[in-house]
Structure 1
Amino acid sequence: MEASIVHSFFLIFAGAAVVASIALYTRQPMLIAYIALGVLFGPSVLSLIDEPKLMDEMSHIGIIFLLFLLGLDMQPSHLLNMLKKASWIALLSSAAFALLGYSVALLCGYTNIESLVIGVAMMFSSTIVCIKLLPTTVLHHKHTGELVVGLLLLQDIIAIAVLLVLYSMSGNDGDSQNIMQYIKPLISLPLLVCGAFLFVKYVLLKLIAKFDRFHEYIFLVSIGWCLSMAVLAETLGLSAEMGAFIGGVALATSPISQYIATHLKPLRDFFLVLFFFSIGASFNLDLLGQVIIPALILAIGSLAIKPVVFRYLLQGIKEKASTSWEVGFRLGQVSEFSLLIAYLAANIGLIGIEASHVIQATAILSFALSTYVVILNFPSPIALSNKLRRD
């Protein structure tokens, strides 16, 4: 197993260095290059990576760190205010996108249930792509960033509810057990938030203040806190990402938060390469001919309709047209939650393999199309023009 992991890491990161160099020379986004590398090295083409599940699990850590760092940049008072303002927008927009997915899937010949699952998968935008394309030192402290993050968090809450339904369908437990699966997160979320803020205030910040001369100690405590919150959230029936985000927000009021954020970014980027690689590696190219047409329609439809929907919904809370359009385009893709929904729904026999791959292909295509739109038109860390490049 050890040799296999070392060999897999060599292929992924040596290959990523090559494709990243090509991407930069040809002025293409590196995220797309990592996905393409995954397709090339995965089971569908060269079959060089024999531990795709392990890579997928490790890449999940990248998302956890991403959400933790995001939380470190969010002031709790601003975040709470944005969540209050945007809740009805998240619900209405999710319903509109679900209707789009359901209608297209039905017209393409999928069953009612499969069309419903595809519709649900279209409801969400990608946290990882959106945040990766947000300038971390600019928009996180501005209104546009707060809108994007608030809507993503509300979508994540809806996505968790959907995943709970699918998990309950996959189990054979009694009715009372299934009811508890729904009640448990509702009780545990406020407890986790309160516990995190109290622990940070009375324990964590005191420890950091006492030993702040030891940089290695702050690094270790930060990672320990992030992963502890992620595991605790999962134990309480929430997502690991949500736990990491709450852990970051709890630290955000302290001046040490920006120091931690700066020093954890390389670790986050290491795991994010694995995440995008695993997306490409998990796709079965043999089914591409069957799913490419509906996937293209859904991906282009998502990118075309989401900005329009957000433009008019955000107008209801007196947002400027330029801000509303930008938020809509930044949220124009499908989510990594959609990939998980496809996997779970296929596992419990709710949808077929073809319908599952429609969702996967839509996610990959929408990641690519949305990334190009954002980096060509809006400020981002990987923008193609110097004028738009911000970090």
Structure 2
Amino acid sequence: MGAGFLNIVVLMFISVCAVALFKRAHLPPILAYLFAGILAGPQILSVFAHPEQMHLLAEVGIVFLLFSLGLEFSLPKLLAMRSLVFGVGLGQMLITTAVFTSVPYFLGLSLSASIIVGGTLALSSTAIVIKQATEMGILNNRRTQLAISILLFQDLAVVPFLIAIPLLAQTGEVSIGLALGEALLKGVFVIAFLMSVGKWVLPWVFREIARTRTDELFVLTTILIALLAGGLTYYFGLSMALGAFLAGMMLGESQYKYQLEADIRPFRDILMGLFFVTVGMQLDLSVLWSNLFEIVFGVFALMLVKVVLVRLASMLVKTDPIDGWSAGVKLCQIGEFSFVIAALATTHGVLSTQQSSLIISMGVISMALTPWLMSNSVLIAKRIVKSDLALTDEETSLRHDSLTNHVIICGFGRVGQSVARMLKMEGIKFVAIDMDPVRVQESRNAGEPVVFGDASQKDILISTAIEKATLVLVAFDQVDKAKQVITQARTISSTDVMVRTKRDYQLESLYSAGANQVVPELQEGSLMLVSQVLHYAGVPMSRILKRVRAERKGRYDHMHGFYPGETTEISYGTEDKLEFIHAVVLSEGAAFVGKPLKDIDFARMRVKVKGLRRDGNEVKEPNENAILQAHDVLVIAGKPRRVERAERKLLEGN
């Protein structure tokens, strides 16, 4: 137990250092995880002598990844993409498998081994492409959607291979057809079952959980549903990832989509990192070293051929040439399921250990090149097509195409809704975030742009296109939560943040947290009342507006503090927040009679001088050099204890 724990700590330490170093060199984290895996693998540090033992846990990372992808691809969206999935996807899989099967067959490999090699080389990496596309913010543009359509079909195509491998080892051709037919029936049943559960049961489950307002329960249920769906498909002999994808797809239309995505992301990213570490561990350095030339040549030949074949497949649905080439560049690596197929084929004796090690070596190298290829896919495609068009904004996310110069309202309660109505009257776009499931449901039914989620979570703010917004308004009165929203907003963009609060107790702390404007309701209400009073008293409107502006600029300086009375309640929670105004009468024996005001050092005591009365007349803005006299009345303001301390000092000198 102790040794196992130490190994995990060592692996985490290597991963953290690798990610930090690669980030410093502006390289993607995926490469850092692969590198950490190679270091920790049985060849170098041998932290884990049997990396295959970690493979199931790492596969859970792919389950979460596909669940997140399912949330992006709701059923209507997938049906709209069916020509891409079953047209380009099927075309690519058939053409590529046929080409890569023929090469080893002509080189003398058996037909069964050649088919497995062809299948493994035809697959691309769902994990890398989707993770990289998400980080780059291009998941929803048409080029990436073309690539994802092909990946979705590839994930479906893995299933027949996993079923066929044990049967190929027995070389019973009749049983292959029967087994594939049986798998197809199972697949249809499982998909129909999951889709009906997703449509009728899951929304009700999440509605009930959202009502409990328990964050932990929401997160746990999300993880449980992703794993249950994956486990169900796995039980029926299909891919775990397929079940998770279907569960995510069913929830993709629900109002909880963004919150589910935000909740599952930390688990997904950690387990995906672990998956890439296990991939790195599988690299056999001795095979790599002894066949370095063949592997490097094989990788470049493979990637080149795959780019061309994906382009050929994309021509089946007459896609734009740049989109076709760009999708090819994105998908020219070997996929993570190739490792699963290669490992299974080796176990059943269809492939030799040497052959599967060659495939894994080629896979790791091609995966390592993918992040760079994805970043430059459009540029490469335009070079091939010889298009000198400037890069368009196509490579940016289309998720919030319509949202620019909008206002984000965090909290859609009484205040949030009032602001939204006024914005609507002025034709200003807005999007609201709220955690009340009933309110979200009601508002969405009425056509209001409301997202269910916790506004203090980064992913939720990103989903509302915060980088394009003109203002983030925190409309709920929870100061700690408001500070979290400000912090997250500041890490994503420089958009202005306005915070509404009931009273001005936390004014300074909200400003220091990064708020651009804090609006205390009580002071603003008083200010509106004062404006009305001054207007009725005959003060010109221009002077009233000037006075209001000055008050806001001075952070409601003249509105702080009040004279306490018999009914003033001082509780434990408010004693350090209330500001009192207190009049101190200097008797003839007072310690500071005959001394200047500056000697008292009110600033150190954090007390302000509000005024000085002498012989019944007010001395406006008393000078710090003003000498105090007997019978003067000094008006001071501050927190109750500080006012008491200042009075004691004035009268007694201590």
Q: Normalised by the size of structure 1, how large is the TM-score?
A: 0.88
Note the C-alpha offset of 1:131. Answer: 0.8
Q: Distance in 2 between matches of 1:236 and 1:181?
A: 12
Give ranges in structure 1 of 5+ residues lacking alignment. 380-386
8 Å CA contact 1:71, 1:252 repeated in 2: yes
8 Å CA contact 1:291, 1:361 repeated in 2: no
User: What does residue range 237-256 of structure 1 map to in structure 2 within 5 Å?
Assistant: 237-256=237-256
8 Å CA contact 2:322, 2:378 repeated in 1: no
Q: Does 281-290 or 163-172 show the bigger shift? A: 163-172
1:260 match: 260
2:13 match: 14
Note the C-alpha offset of 1:188. Answer: 2.4
8 Å CA contact 1:97, 1:119 repeated in 2: yes
Note the C-alpha offset of 1:170. Answer: 5.0
Q: Distance in 1 between matches of 2:182 and 2:254?
A: 30
Note the C-alpha offset of 1:167. Answer: 2.8
2:198 match: 200
Note the C-alpha offset of 1:90. Answer: 2.7
8 Å CA contact 1:59, 1:278 repeated in 2: yes
8 Å CA contact 2:70, 2:246 repeated in 1: yes
Letter in 1 for 2:309: V
Letter in 1 for 2:30: L
1:296 match: 296
8 Å CA contact 1:125, 1:333 repeated in 2: yes
Deviations 1:88-125 (A, max 9, x none): 43333234433543455468x66344444322211111
Letter in 1 for 2:204: K
8 Å CA contact 1:90, 1:151 repeated in 2: yes
User: What does residue range 1-391 of structure 1 map to in structure 2 within 5 Å?
Assistant: 2-102=1-101, 105=104, 111-113=109-111, 114-135=113-134, 138-169=137-168, 181-212=179-210, 213-377=213-377
Q: Distance in 2 between matches of 1:313 and 1:200?
A: 32
8 Å CA contact 1:303, 1:370 repeated in 2: no
Letter in 1 for 2:206: I
Note the C-alpha offset of 1:174. Answer: 12
Q: Does 253-262 or 289-298 show the bigger shift? A: 289-298
- Bigger relative contact order (CA 8 A; separation at least 6): 1
Q: Distance in 2 between matches of 1:101 and 1:297?
A: 15
Letter in 2 for 1:206: W
Note the C-alpha offset of 1:245. Answer: 0.5
| Change in CA separation of 1:45 and 1:105 when aligned onto 2, cut-off 3 Å | farther
Q: Does 201-210 or 90-99 show the bigger shift? A: 90-99
Note the C-alpha offset of 1:314. Answer: 1.8
Letter in 1 for 2:351: I
Note the C-alpha offset of 1:278. Answer: 0.7
Q: Distance in 1 between matches of 2:85 and 2:101?
A: 24
SS at match of 2:122: coil
Give ranges in structure 2 of 5+ residues lacking alignment. 380-392, 398-461, 463-654
8 Å CA contact 1:68, 1:245 repeated in 2: yes
SS at match of 1:28: coil
8 Å CA contact 2:89, 2:153 repeated in 1: yes
Q: Distance in 2 between matches of 1:354 and 1:34?
A: 24
Note the C-alpha offset of 1:293. Answer: 2.9
Letter in 2 for 1:207: V
| Change in CA separation of 1:223 and 1:293 when aligned onto 2, cut-off 3 Å | same
Between the two proteins, what is the percent identity of the paired residues? 23
Name the larger-Rg structure: 2
| Change in CA separation of 1:277 and 1:84 when aligned onto 2, cut-off 3 Å | same
SS at match of 1:323: helix
SS at match of 1:211: helix
8 Å CA contact 1:5, 1:51 repeated in 2: no
8 Å CA contact 1:121, 1:334 repeated in 2: yes
8 Å CA contact 2:67, 2:246 repeated in 1: yes
| Change in CA separation of 1:49 and 1:140 when aligned onto 2, cut-off 3 Å | same
1:383 match: none
8 Å CA contact 2:233, 2:239 repeated in 1: yes
Q: Distance in 2 between matches of 1:86 and 1:96?
A: 15
Q: Does 14-23 or 49-58 show the bigger shift? A: 49-58
8 Å CA contact 2:74, 2:251 repeated in 1: no
Q: Distance in 2 between matches of 1:48 and 1:40?
A: 9
Give the helix-richer structure, 1 or 2. 1
8 Å CA contact 1:105, 1:294 repeated in 2: no
8 Å CA contact 1:104, 1:294 repeated in 2: no
Letter in 2 for 1:188: K
Note the C-alpha offset of 1:359. Answer: 0.7
Q: Distance in 1 between matches of 2:198 and 2:98?
A: 42
8 Å CA contact 1:333, 1:363 repeated in 2: yes
Letter in 1 for 2:197: F
| Change in CA separation of 1:202 and 1:78 when aligned onto 2, cut-off 3 Å | closer
Note the C-alpha offset of 1:378. Answer: 5.6
8 Å CA contact 2:329, 2:377 repeated in 1: no
Q: Distance in 2 between matches of 1:3 and 1:84?
A: 54
Q: Distance in 1 between matches of 2:253 and 2:122?
A: 32
| Change in CA separation of 1:22 and 1:277 when aligned onto 2, cut-off 3 Å | same
Q: Does 366-375 or 219-228 show the bigger shift? A: 366-375
Deviations 1:36-86 (A, max 9, x none): 221111111121224522322211110010001100111212212323344
Q: Does 14-23 or 162-171 show the bigger shift? A: 162-171
SS at match of 2:38: helix
SS at match of 2:157: helix
SS at match of 2:123: coil
Q: Distance in 1 between matches of 2:84 and 2:143?
A: 14
Q: Does 346-355 or 85-94 show the bigger shift? A: 85-94
Q: Distance in 1 between matches of 2:131 and 2:90?
A: 24
Q: Does 183-192 or 359-368 show the bigger shift? A: 183-192
| Change in CA separation of 1:243 and 1:12 when aligned onto 2, cut-off 3 Å | same
| Change in CA separation of 1:53 and 1:16 when aligned onto 2, cut-off 3 Å | same
8 Å CA contact 2:191, 2:246 repeated in 1: yes
Letter in 2 for 1:60: E
Q: Distance in 2 between matches of 1:142 and 1:73?
A: 12
1:382 match: none
8 Å CA contact 2:130, 2:139 repeated in 1: no
Q: Distance in 2 between matches of 1:255 and 1:372?
A: 35
8 Å CA contact 2:165, 2:350 repeated in 1: no
| Change in CA separation of 1:92 and 1:161 when aligned onto 2, cut-off 3 Å | same
| Change in CA separation of 1:96 and 1:233 when aligned onto 2, cut-off 3 Å | same
